[in-house]
Structure 1
Amino acid sequence: MIKNSENIHKKSGNIPLRIDPELHEVLAKHASQEGRSLNNYLTKLLEEGVRPKSFEDRQFVGHVISGDNFDLDNRLVKISGIYYRYLIDNASVVNKEKSYAVIEANGNILTLRELK
């Protein structure tokens, strides 16, 4: 009997995987904290890893911005000559003496993290 070539390459969805027991424990803990099964949690992580990033993420995430690029009165930050709204991830206010990394971009709002 000749099998259809499409069926030969169809994946079952099962992936046997060996990982370090300590990593297994950490992953199970994270899954539990999110109220997910370990399988569901791992599927979510894998999907996030292969999902295309947004245009904003590709353009801005990873950029480092110095404190002199902030307009504190209007809560704006300038990148490549354009002003964006921002949120600070790990500080309550901008310190002009510090630098910040863009960790997320959502439309015209950037999330920044103060570099230590």
Structure 2
Amino acid sequence: MPIVVLFSCSLESRPVGRQPIRVSDRVRHDSDDPAIWINSADPSASLILGTDKESDRRAMGIGLYKRPSDGEIFAIVSRKSGPSGSYLWQYRLHDDGTGQVVGTHVRSFGLFSGSGEIEA
């Protein structure tokens, strides 16, 4: 005896009714290059970091690095244009003693041909 199975799917998608728990401040222009830092001891204190890259032409990209030997955390920040040899800046991120994160400039580096944008 043959078995017939019938099923159907809706062709319309329904919006998911979720609201964020917390919303960050708006940036003036175009946010980009997100990095997610998860605080394993207190997930509610986790952060999403990014750059505002449009007309102010400040930081263009950011990368975070945790040094395995001592656990120090660094941010390497790039910009849209600038002299070759120093378009990447490295900052050590640390607590200033009041619970605020401070970036201390460690070094500048990075060669660039001068052709187009640095990201090109």
Using structure 1 for the length normalisation, give the TM-score: 0.22
TM-score under structure 2 normalisation?
Answer: 0.21
Q: Which has the higher helix share?
A: 1
* RCO comparison, higher one (Cα < 8 Å, 6+): 1
Per residue, is there more strand in 1 or in 2? 2
